[in-house]
């Protein structure tokens, strides 16, 4: 079983709704990631948090708002999404070196399948 837990597994929302995706890991990893994956495509990096601070934002639209409340939790707040935002949203985590590099394996959760109507 994956050690990165994502909720909910499925989410259907309208374009005016506000919802959140949640991610939790207890492996002591200090780097956490949000990826977006469309069908039959590789994961695309959205955000990276390093030691609870946002370190990478891959020019993601502001309708996606990440939050890292503590070293174990990562949220992705969703507002005014478009139908083209429908995808599998993956959370991942990894170790972090003292110099800030990701170290070793990236552990993925099972994802939250988002459908925007």
List residues near another protein by CB under 8 A: 2, 4, 31, 33, 40-43, 45, 48, 50, 55-56, 90, 92, 94, 100-102, 105-111, 113
Beta bridge partners of 18: 79
From the CB of 10, what's the least distance to another protein, in Å? Answer: 10
**Residue partners of 57: CB distance under 8 A and separation at least 6:** 46, 47
Report the residue number, 67 or 110, with the smaller CB distance to another protein: 110
Tell me if 26 sits within 8 A of 33, measured CB to CB.
Answer: no
In the complex with another protein, the residue whose CB is nearer, 7 or 55, is 55
CB of 7 to another protein, least distance (A): 13
Question: How far is residue 29's CA from residue 21's CA, in Å, rounded to a whole number?
Answer: 19
> Which three-class secondary structure state does DSSP give residue 83?
helix
* Least distance between another protein and beta carbon 67 (Å): 18
């Amino acid at each position: 079983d994956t050690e990165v837990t994502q909720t909910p597994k499925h989410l259907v929302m309208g374009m005016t709704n506000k919802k959140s995706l949640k991610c939790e890991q207890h492996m002591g990893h200090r780097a956490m990631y949000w990826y977006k994956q469309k069908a039959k495509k590789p994961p695309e990096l959205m955000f990276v948090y390093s030691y609870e601070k946002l370190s990478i934002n891959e020019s993601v639209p502001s309708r996606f708002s990440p939050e890292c409340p503590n070293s174990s939790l990562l949220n992705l707040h969703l507002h005014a999404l478009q139908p083209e935002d429908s995808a599998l949203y993956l959370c991942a985590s990894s170790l972090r070196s003292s110099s800030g590099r990701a170290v070793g394996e990236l552990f993925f959760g099972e994802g939250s399948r988002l459908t925007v109507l």
